[in-house]
Amino acid sequence: MTTLLIIAAKEIREAFRNRWVVATTLLMAALALTLSFLGAAPTGTVGVGRIEVTIVSLSSLTIFLLPLIALLLSFDAVVGEIDRGTMTLLLSYPVARWQVLLGKFLGHAAIIAFATVLGYGSAGAALAWSGAAVGPESWQAYGAMIGSSVLLGAAFTALGYLASTLVRDRGTAAGIAVALWLGFVLLYDMGLLGLLVADGGKTVNAELLNALLLANPADAYRLFNLTGFKNVSLLAGTAGLASQVQVSGGVLLGVLAAWVAAPLGLAVLLFSRKQI
């Protein structure tokens, strides 16, 4: 465990030197604050809570932004070190390969978590400071959104590590990272929608639809945040979907955790056999 923490701390220090932590945190905070105040401006007219509007807005933003940040941070975590020759130096020390990979992952996941919690937490603190009336259930939904965002970031960080261990040059790893983002964030839902329209309800039933949605970490995140809490699902227009989704919040979080463990485990296996 000490070895893992040392390697993770090294990654965090390098991220601070490269301004990754500062830039990511400021970006998340600026967007969260903008959405929480400007996006919640009409709430007095339509009679919905400001925190619910913020949850819906931030959830939609997170699906596009956080996976991209995580992939940009992690796509060259292994292949970049190999290209620079620093991986050979690191492995010359009495440290196992799995410790190197897991330590680096913990460092990058901690960066994403820090930026997400501080950035989104600042928006929640600003709403509380403004005197907005927010109930306990709404704060619970907001906290769940932050926690699941951290899991989503960790899942795409793990996918970035998998891409980084599969190839031998940074350009290819970057291409795979972009393809992963496009596939999971944009193209998957478009393809699923096309399938539903073409099928016309003949083959794709509720159970199969649930399985297809869980096959994408971005959709599991969306389901958890937009259907898991009544007030949020009513505002997001997903109340009908919430009645059809027969998956509990705990299962959805478990799916996100599996999307962290499976790619990371495969990356560890590939890295243990990789010629350097």
User: Quick check: helix, strand or coil at residue 242?
Assistant: helix
Span 95-103, mean pLDDT? Answer: 93
What pLDDT shows up at residue 208? 81
Q: What is the mean pLDDT of the chain?
A: 84
Contact (CB, 8 A) for 164 and 80: yes
Residue 231: which pLDDT band, with cuts at 50, 70 and 90? low
200 against 159, higher pLDDT? 159
What pLDDT shows up at residue 203? 78
pTM of the model: 0.89
End-to-end distance of the chain based on CA atoms, in angstroms?
Answer: 25
Span 16-30, mean pLDDT? Answer: 81
What pLDDT shows up at residue 74? 92
**CA neighbours closer than 13 Å in the CB half-sphere of residue 155:** 27
Contact (CB, 8 A) for 204 and 196: yes
Is a pLDDT exceeding 60 seen at residue 44?
Answer: no
Span 189-198, mean pLDDT? Answer: 86
C-alpha 78/C-alpha 264 separation (Å) is 12
Q: Tell me the angle at which helices 188-199 and 217-227 cross, rounded to the nearest 10 degrees.
A: 80
Residue 245: which pLDDT band, with cuts at 50, 70 and 90? low
Is a pLDDT exceeding 90 seen at residue 127?
Answer: no
Closest alpha carbon to 153 in 106, 215, 212: 106
CA 134, 137, 140, 142 dihedral sign is negative
What pLDDT shows up at residue 45? 43
42 against 92, higher pLDDT? 92
- Which range (158-167, 231-240, 254-263) has the least confidence? 231-240
